[in-house]
Chains A and B, each alone.
Chain A
């Protein structure tokens, strides 16, 4: 087997009361802890950095200066042999390096040239993020590579019709992954989140341009660590069953349910993106089955991993999600702590998102209720990151009961930080 070591572990209470139909399980997927588990014959990686060069990047001047410096840092982190390019984005998109389009193979000479070209970037013009994505797409598809990744930086709102951006995103889905960063506070979280969600990447705010270099370095190092692209979670269910949802729940919440690709009459594949060594992610699978009689056992789902390789998709690892109907309450009332924890984390993410949306619309009572619920959930689950970010938006009267008051004055950067990072979860002990 050329994919040793990916493991799939299932956590659930398999015992259901008579007539119950909903089966929940947490699936932990862990990649091998070895330096090189990419399939033989794989065609390597390709990286594109997209830098916003619109007019607003000049105010203040430090913004474009820091963006140039951060791009240079990211270029330096690209490993020899990896194909790469830099694109400047305005109301159009243009190749910065290589100047003739296409990708260059990284070595000290090409990295040096790229940094010199980046040093000459001058801001001026509008923002058409859809065009930037299209140029990246065009550049990638001419160059075979297994792992394709983009770092996208913007400082403002998209100037195109939203339909244009949507179409560009659809075009790029499955072609490359994209990590989005917004510098300052004049950009829209929702726009970048739409990109990062569809393109299986992250989104975050960098409030102070001085923070860009470190962030870019971290993103590029993580990208260099990826070894396998396109790992999918394959979920088989019995004929009469329905998959209610499949969600990534750690390290962040992401609903994958709508991204299902059929893989046979009873199975579907859910994308999980690229994996590096020793990564561990948790997924929450919920299946509705036709209840059987007490004493019967059923396989509610079989979960495995599908890894693309030059010789075709390989199915590795397997976990069984079972359903056993019982009249023994000592068994059926047990709570799977993992399922309960992640159900709570997903509710926390939803409460934050809905609370922020209500606050933006001026609906104070809904915002207070939702953000209060979020505070309570964050405390219960020990999610200190979200708790401290919430504390910048609300005054906490009593965390346990979720009693809060909206702060009158909230920094945009704090609100956007809560928004972008609200999907981060804490893991549960096994």
Chain B
């Protein structure tokens, strides 16, 4: 678990006083609470899972049977309290080409949660590197903008441009350009700013029965465009061969990578879900997703995200799966009560 917001008291590295909106400690230069990214650097199993030989080569293959030893990115969980996410390789892909980045900040107007989910296009070059670079770059831009109090719609577009540059710079001289989708969300106490490019989605999962769950994004896919123009019935869209043919994505020509940005003011408390198509393929309807994740996601987003991912794996796990849940409005849990007469129940 990484990245709590900088305590009002001091820099976690050197203890010097820091302001609640500082990105860097002015004394020692440490970045305060950078985004947490699903880079797989923590964990990873030793030893081969296929043949239980303990000899693994430095390049990650079993010295006996040649099987690839699983990477830390095959299953990762990030829990920042204010929000949480789970990403999983699934059952049919050889590596996880999804990535997520989560961050929080404490601003004068209260806590802010933000998240980015990216899905690398398998048939492009280095999709796993592309999704990670894009998620990291976009989250970094958003976090800086949040701390500076910048306009979030503009910052979201800028984040996508920066993510696109990060993806472009990965391409080798003779290689195809890497490609990925992107969906981001910034949650303040007032609104949710959603931005997307491709077919990863954002959903609003309502708390009370009064405000219905809804899908906030519309896929940049051929099927979705045909539905919008009345050429394809909604019910047929999911099964259509065009369902996953992207019309816009990161890493494309500038004309084809203009993101959609929208500001959504929720009518009441609820949870924002960001997910890749590895999840919504199995559960496309907002009401069904809410049925699975709520109300637990309001207070325990990690457990709820894990439940969504497990559902998709059990249903077939044909693709990489990523689910990020961010309760709205973002609220830091009240500090545990530690004072009171001795013997009184205290955590």
Q: Does A167 contact B (CB under 8 A)?
A: no
Q: How far is the CA of A300 from the CA of B65 in the complex (A)?
A: 9
Q: B139 → chain A, closest Cβ, in Å?
A: 28
Complex contact B64–A296 (CB within 8 A): no
Q: How far is the CA of A320 from the CA of B59 in the complex (A)?
A: 9
Set of chain A residues within 8 Å of B67, measured between Cβ atoms: 238, 292, 296-299
Name A277-334 residues within 8 Å CB distance of B: 289, 292, 294-300, 302, 320, 324-328, 330-331
Q: Digitize A205-234: 1 where CB-to-B-CB distance is under 8 Å, 0 elsewhere.
A: 000000000000000000000000000000
Q: A418 → chain B, closest Cβ, in Å?
A: 36
Q: Does B242 contact A (CB under 8 A)?
A: no
Q: B94 → chain A, closest Cβ, in Å?
A: 4
Name A330-389 residues within 8 Å CB distance of B: 330-331
Q: How far is the CA of A289 from the CA of B68 in the complex (A)?
A: 14
Complex contact A239–B94 (CB within 8 A): no
Q: A9 → chain B, closest Cβ, in Å?
A: 12
Q: Does A237 contact B (CB under 8 A)?
A: yes
Q: B284 → chain A, closest Cβ, in Å?
A: 21
Q: Does B248 contact A (CB under 8 A)?
A: no
Complex contact B66–A296 (CB within 8 A): no
Set of chain B residues within 8 Å of A300, measured between Cβ atoms: 66
Can you report 27 A-B residue pairs in the complex whose CB atoms are below 8 A from each other? A237-B66, A238-B67, A239-B66, A241-B66, A289-B66, A292-B50, A292-B67, A294-B92, A295-B91, A295-B92, A296-B67, A297-B67, A297-B68, A297-B95, A298-B61, A298-B66, A299-B57, A299-B61, A299-B62, A299-B66, A320-B59, A325-B94, A326-B93, A326-B94, A327-B92, A327-B318, A330-B123
A297: contacting residue among B64, B94, B122, B318, CB under 8 A:
B94
Question: B residues touching A (Cβ–Cβ < 8 Å)?
Answer: 50, 57, 59, 61-62, 64-68, 89-95, 122-123, 174, 318
Q: Given that A324-B94, A325-B94, A326-B94 are known contacts, is A296 also in contact with B68, CB under 8 Å in the complex?
A: yes
Set of chain B residues within 8 Å of A237, measured between Cβ atoms: 66
Set of chain B residues within 8 Å of A320, measured between Cβ atoms: 59, 61
Q: B148 → chain A, closest Cβ, in Å?
A: 42
A295: contacting residue among B66, B94, B123, B174, CB under 8 A:
B94
Q: How far is the CA of A255 from the CA of B40 in the complex (A)?
A: 43
Set of chain A residues within 8 Å of B92, measured between Cβ atoms: 294-295, 326-327
Q: A14 → chain B, closest Cβ, in Å?
A: 9
Set of chain B residues within 8 Å of A325, measured between Cβ atoms: 94
Q: A324 → chain B, closest Cβ, in Å?
A: 5
Q: Which residue of A lies closest to B71 (CB)?
A: A297
Q: How far is the CA of A299 from the CA of B69 in the complex (A)?
A: 10
Complex contact B50–A331 (CB within 8 A): no
Q: How far is the CA of A324 from the CA of B65 in the complex (A)?
A: 14
Q: How far is the CA of A300 from the CA of B64 in the complex (A)?
A: 11
Q: Given that A320-B59, A331-B122, A331-B123 are known contacts, is A298 also in contact with B68, CB under 8 Å in the complex?
A: yes
Q: Does A240 contact B (CB under 8 A)?
A: yes
Complex contact A328–B122 (CB within 8 A): yes
Q: How far is the CA of A327 from the CA of B90 in the complex (A)?
A: 13
Q: How far is the CA of A379 from the CA of B292 in the complex (A)?
A: 62
In the complex, besides A296-B68, A297-B68, 4 extra interface pairs with C-beta distance below 8 angstroms are A300-B66, A324-B94, A327-B318, A328-B123
